[in-house]
Chains A and B, each alone.
Chain A
Amino acid sequence: MLESIPLFPEQASSLAPEVDNLYFFVLAITGFFALLVAVLVVIFAIKYRDRTGNRVGAPITGSIPLELGWSIIPFFVSMAIFVWATVVFFHIVRPPDQTLEIYSTGKRWMWRFQHIDGQSEINELHVPLGRPVKVTFTSEDVLHSLYVPAFRVKADAIPGRYSSIWFTPTKTGQYHLFCAEYCGTKHSGMIGSVYVMDPDEYQAWLSGGGGLSMTARGEQLFQQLGCVSCHLNDGSGRGPSLAGKFGTQETLANGETVNVDDTYLRESILTPQLRLVAGYQPLMPTFQGLVNEEGVMSLIEYIKSLPAAPATGAATQTQAQGR
């Protein structure tokens, strides 16, 4: 019976042991201070007990060295925790360069996952063992939070923005996937499972069914929505060429520069007027309402897949400025 009551979560990602080591470190430190104070209080309470109630204690008013001591020592101890915890945090929020990309949207009350190759699933997420995976997601309505305790990762899903988590699974099996941010009636039903599979099993799973790849779907949308009519790969259209844009820096009309990442691309599609590219007119219509979050993700995947055509960027700029 007792074995079925877990007291400690499974470690199923490369981050989990890191987080757990930190946890035990903080536990040891706080445990020490808790015990120290508790034991002293008990000893003093018993040793200096006065049953009569009409005697007074020793006339001690304080001690500056002692008080400085017990301000400064805890400060340095807490700084040790701070530094370690921050290092772990940066591992959690900074994904490695080469990751398997998966997209997801949360909405009341389910998670949809979209694999690049075309597979999509609801409240289930299949991932291969031993490979860093990055899940990029947003919410279609209110706040949610994507949480996999066995991986020790979580991030809020925020409407209008992309968030991401990453992890390298280290153990095959089935793990809980929760919504951790309260989202209404069936918040506690917005759960599912992550399946960590051996890489070849995962390949087999991927190829079993599942329509178009995201890139292909994105290309289709790019045609259907008329993006092609303005965004030509050689830069000769009314809009800038999108080939090779991803991961570069863009200069805006107001002089600022931005990194061309998922969030920027999403914003460019849904609210193009918000941040104009330098040298272009505010011609692009908004696609808010014409394409859903998954469509936007496919478009982004497609834009990412466009190879950089050499020297077109410069051509676009000069051409645009000449206008």
Chain B
Amino acid sequence: MTTTVLPRVNYLNHEHGVASWLLTKDHKRIGILYLIVVAVAFFLGAIFAAGVRMELTTPQGDLVSADTYNKLFTAHGVMMVFFVLIPVVPAILGNFAMPLMIGAKDVAFPKLNLLSWYVFVIGFLFTIAALIFGGVDTGWTFYTPYSSTASNSNVMLTGLGVFIAGFSSILTGLNFMVTIHRMRAPGMTWFRLPLFVWAIYATALVQVLGTPVVAITVLMMALERALGFGIFDPRLGGDPVLFQHLFWFYSHPAVYIMILPPMGAISEVIACFSRKNVFGYSFVAFSSLAIAVFGFLVWAHHLFVAGISPYSAMVFSFLSFAVAIPSAVKTFNWTATLYQGAIWWRAPMMWVFGFIGLFLIGGLTGLFLASLGLDVHLHDTYFVVAHFHYIMVGGAIMGFLAGLHFWWPKMTGRMYSDGAATLSALLVFVGFNLTFGPQFILGYLGMPRRYHVYPDEYQVLNVLSSAGTSILGVGYTLTAVYLIYSLFRGERAGANPWLATGLEWNNTDSPPLPHNFSDLPVVSEGAYEYSKRGMKVA
């Protein structure tokens, strides 16, 4: 940390004014643009969640009406899934860091990259409009025939928003794939790529192959709703369960769009703060690909009680167990990476510890749901709600925050308060467990999800859960506060505050230059060669 002056010219200060941002083709600035929109979406989604949790502190439906409640959890789901979880790591951290990490000046198609952001924002605005004009009450899953025939809320507008946002995801995926294939610096072979880049690559595959399916599914639902095409409604000769097949054919792989990139970020942070190679680099790299591919073969595990044949249920159960193995391998490899490391307890690593704890529980509870005999009882109960929040919030959001804390000094050139960040990681970890832990018990007791009113005996656990939410809220708010504060008062970070390996840390300043590198980097070693840096072994 010798450099304390900001580089004279960097990507943040070389141009000024709103237009310079809205017309930028710089992947780093586009990453920041995404950060802003996603932060707004997260804030809205969190407000909706707070509404849901407040209502559920009492068994009666006394805070909001049943319809409002249904709109609240739908809005929460739509916001968080389509406008937070899917873009959060690829579009923010992927955009900002991936080209830097492979030694590229930008992504392959910078204009397309900006277009993707606009497409995303338009989708977001349509969805917001749907909420302002009265909301939507189908649940984020839009199951037919309710969505296509019965619901009288803004299904079309929301569907359109999601449909449009999907194209942003496809375009980003394409752009990243081409970038990783074509734009790597000399010497940056596939097996020298940082694991984050592998994860982004695997994710891009899923985005490109999976997203069109959900776009078409939403379109079919809209056709049925608007023009009475009989696709899903049996009265029109359609099949309601077909929708679920199509929807989950995308939406299960979408889980991997949400979790693979954070896993990649986790690998970076663990390597850096243990000062070691990631244990079993190629296992971890290939497990990302394996997850991406096998993720397409398990969709019907959402349909075990939806009238599919018991034999196909058996096959999908088997495949669901199989896809769990690569994730387990990653977790073991991360743990093994810590062994004999020189572990530096800084804030990003604290978020990683939180991630491991929550992801572990999220992943293992997935085994309960993959088990046919248990899923009959657990399906559509709070057990499922708890499980996917452990994966999506405990895994994806914690992983994102680990990555954000890691790259923040690079993005902004400033350091945040390490103490405050550690405290907020702790608050989020505790608040999260208090919020979602009791929901596992509620689920096994049999409380169905999406219930506005519930039997009295479930109240105590629900109150605990709601109490946890407030701690969680304080944790996230604290994060926002010290990060924003750091923009104005944070210490200068210097090029490489973490003494990390990687081109983004060693070959450019913080914040990076407008075109990333003054000289094109040439790579001659693997991604995590800490042992070759002439530092003492701990």
Q: Which of A19, A79, A187 has the most CB of B within 10 A?
A: A187
A286 CA to B476 CA, complexed, in Å: 60
Q: Which of A4, A152, A181 has the most CB of B within 10 A?
A: A181
In the complex, whether A163 has a CB less than 8 A from a CB of chain B is yes
Binary contact track A107-142/B, C-beta < 8 Å → 1, others 0: 010000000000000000000000000000000011
Contact of B448 among A7, A33, A180 (CB under 8 A): A180
Given the complex, which residues of A lie within 8 Å of B14, measured CB to CB? Answer: none
Q: Could you tell me if A55 and B339 are in contact, using CB atoms closer than 8 angstroms?
A: no
In the complex, whether A319 has a CB less than 8 A from a CB of chain B is no
In the complex, whether A173 has a CB less than 8 A from a CB of chain B is no
Q: Could you tell me if A66 and B336 are in contact, using CB atoms closer than 8 angstroms?
A: yes
Q: Could you tell me if B452 and A180 are in contact, using CB atoms closer than 8 angstroms?
A: no
Interface residues of A in 157-213 (CB under 8 A from B): 158-161, 163, 176, 178-189
Q: How far is the CB of A289 from chain B (nearest CB, A)?
A: 10
Q: Could you tell me if B305 and A156 are in contact, using CB atoms closer than 8 angstroms?
A: yes
A5 CA to B461 CA, complexed, in Å: 8
Count B-side interface residues using an 8 Å CB cutoff: 97
Contact of A7 among B279, B338, B374, B441 (CB under 8 A): B441
In the complex, whether A302 has a CB less than 8 A from a CB of chain B is no
Q: Could you tell me if B367 and A48 are in contact, using CB atoms closer than 8 angstroms?
A: no
Q: Could you tell me if A60 and B343 are in contact, using CB atoms closer than 8 angstroms?
A: no
Q: Could you tell me if B446 and A57 are in contact, using CB atoms closer than 8 angstroms?
A: no
Q: Could you tell me if A57 and B340 are in contact, using CB atoms closer than 8 angstroms?
A: yes
Q: Could you tell me if B379 and A180 are in contact, using CB atoms closer than 8 angstroms?
A: yes
Binary contact track A145-162/B, C-beta < 8 Å → 1, others 0: 101011011111011110
A87 CA to B314 CA, complexed, in Å: 10
Contact of B307 among A61, A88, A155 (CB under 8 A): A155
Stretch of B20-28, B171-179, B324-332 on the interface side: B324-332
A9 with B373, Cβ < 8 A, contacts A48-B342, A81-B367, A184-B150 known: no
Q: Could you tell me if B306 and A22 are in contact, using CB atoms closer than 8 angstroms?
A: no
Stretch of A36-44, A216-224, A239-247, A307-315 on the interface side: A36-44
Q: Could you tell me if A38 and B357 are in contact, using CB atoms closer than 8 angstroms?
A: yes
Given the complex, which residues of B lie within 8 Å of A45, measured CB to CB? Answer: 338, 343, 345, 353
A56 with B338, Cβ < 8 A, contacts A23-B368, A34-B364, A180-B381 known: no
Q: Could you tell me if A56 and B343 are in contact, using CB atoms closer than 8 angstroms?
A: no
A48 with B339, Cβ < 8 A, contacts A60-B279, A78-B324 known: yes
A142 with B371, Cβ < 8 A, contacts A44-B339, A58-B340, A155-B307 known: no
Contact of B533 among A19, A56, A60 (CB under 8 A): A56
Q: How far is the CB of A130 from chain B (nearest CB, A)?
A: 22
Given the complex, which residues of B lie within 8 Å of A51, measured CB to CB? Answer: 344-345
Q: Could you tell me if B373 and A19 are in contact, using CB atoms closer than 8 angstroms?
A: yes
Given the complex, which residues of A lie within 8 Å of B455, measured CB to CB? Answer: 176
Q: Could you tell me if A82 and B317 are in contact, using CB atoms closer than 8 angstroms?
A: yes
Q: Could you tell me if A145 and B371 are in contact, using CB atoms closer than 8 angstroms?
A: no
Given the complex, which residues of B lie within 8 Å of A254, measured CB to CB? Answer: none
Q: How far is the CB of B117 from chain A (nearest CB, A)?
A: 33
A55 CA to B499 CA, complexed, in Å: 10
Contact of B305 among A4, A33, A84, A145 (CB under 8 A): A145
The 7 closest A-B pairs by CB, nearest first: A149-B446, A88-B373, A160-B234, A85-B371, A89-B372, A57-B276, A57-B341
